[in-house]
Structure 1
Amino acid sequence: MDYATSDPGPRRRRPLISTADNGLKIVITGGFGVGKTTMVRSVSEIRPLNTEETMSAAGEAVDDLDGIRAKTATTVAFDFGRISLDDRNILYLFGAPGQERFWFLWDRLFAGTLGAVVLVDTRRLADSWYAIDRLEHHGTPFVVACNDFGGPKHTEEQVRKALDLSPGVPLVDCDARSRNSCKAVLIALVQHLRDLSAAQEATEP
């Protein structure tokens, strides 16, 4: 997937306002080549910080390139973007690296996270198992977003079964190239967090 977004028009880049005092952290994670960098670039209001490096022949021996042979660069630390929710609240987006050799970074990246998006390629659903496993280990709420690579369509039941998803985990469709689509995914995550918070309050004495 390339990095051009499907939403026309220039993006206004805003400096961080002086009244902002509440930073909320969201992590976008998933397997190798599922579109995490693209998603951060699509939705961030600033020019994202990224740590992409050109892929070399040496990486072919350790990275599974099945279905993503056209990929030429890869994230080696994390991507970073930002969305201003209002004058005081800022959403910080962190895109996690996808290759197995960088998974050791994930536990620290998940620390202090409000919630997460697990981005999946339905052609390679098994690549997302580790992200889901680590988020469940940390007790981090998440939603699953199926990125559109034009592959075979699966029913929601098929995707849930393949990923062994709890019925309470939202599953949404996504085009990581589209700002509006990515915003809808983040809104779904926020709604999920609100629902979990309301359910917890309802059970408290």
Structure 2
Amino acid sequence: MGSTNSDALTGPRTEHVLPSSAATAVKVVIVGGFGVGKTTMVGSVSEIPPLSTEETMTQASAGIDDNAGVEGKTSTTVAMDFGRISLNEQLVLYLFGTPGQERFWFLWNGLFEGALGSVVLVDTRRLDTCFDVITRLEDRRVPFIVALNSFPDSPKHEIADVRRALDLPDSVPLVECDARLRESSRDVLLTLMHYLRTLTAAQETL
């Protein structure tokens, strides 16, 4: 039976195809507490339409999910976010954003398989939401950096003060960013790549 043009299969759009020069693909996981901007970061920096599993929040989550400080949030990630960015002609990052609510943390096991490193996204209005996240990464021995996401009503703190509050070693990069801006999110990922390269170089000298 003949097929019409509408039945013909089409390949991916040109802008979605990896460049032929791409030599290395790296998996990176973006983690953080509820409502810190993980979905926003993946969406702002991804060069392909991001995959998002956001669902509308309902009354059923009342008393279960801690939305203190983000009371106006109406949707939430229930599985993962996914995007892709080519940092240069050779290096491609696959980005996976995790759900922030603790009741979905069982999904982390699969999301972290094969991950080279992680970005911990932090809202300075709710620093307490990232302590358990950092502890889980340390327990898994996943290299990570911390990025402070700027919100209009976020209190301003010195980087050194935030580092002390989070009990971060001096060796772990701590940067400020605006997850809504592509350039800012890209710079966070570049910081992670430089950090991972530093760790690899240190191991090679042992």
Normalising by structure 2, report the TM-score.
0.88
CA drift at 1:18 = 6.8
Alignment of 1:1-205 (within 5 A): 14-17=15-18, 19=20, 20=22, 22-86=24-88, 89-150=91-152, 151-203=154-206
SS in 2 for 1:39: helix
Partners of 1:156 and 1:131 in 2: how far apart? Answer: 19
SS in 2 for 1:51: strand
CA drift at 1:157 = 2.3
Q: How many residues align?
A: 192
CA drift at 1:140 = 1.0
Q: 1:122–1:13: structure 2 CA closer, same or farther, 3 Å change rule? A: farther
CA drift at 1:192 = 0.5
Structure 1: 5+ residue stretches without partners? 1-11
- Structure showing greater radius of gyration is 2
SS in 2 for 1:46: coil
SS in 1 for 2:162: helix
Q: 1:160–1:88: structure 2 CA closer, same or farther, 3 Å change rule? A: closer
Normalising by structure 1, report the TM-score.
0.88
Match of 2:9 in 1: none
Partners of 1:130 and 1:111 in 2: how far apart? Answer: 19
Deviation >6 Å, runs of 4+: none
Tell me which moved more, 181-190 or 131-140: 131-140
CA drift at 1:85 = 3.8
> Aligned AA for 2:54?
E
SS in 2 for 1:165: coil
Contact kept? 1:13, 1:47, Cα under 8 Å: no
CA drift at 1:146 = 0.2
Partners of 1:141 and 1:52 in 2: how far apart? Answer: 27
CA drift at 1:88 = 5.2
- Give the CA RMSD over aligned residues: 1.7
Q: 1:18–1:149: structure 2 CA closer, same or farther, 3 Å change rule? A: closer
Equivalent pairs: percent with the same residue? 59
Tell me which moved more, 59-68 or 83-92: 83-92
> Aligned AA for 1:100?
E
Tell me which moved more, 15-24 or 150-159: 15-24
Partners of 2:188 and 2:90 in 1: how far apart? Answer: 22
Cα-to-partner distance string for 1:133-189 (whole Å, 9 max, x where unaligned): 111111111110000013111112221122111111000001000001001101110
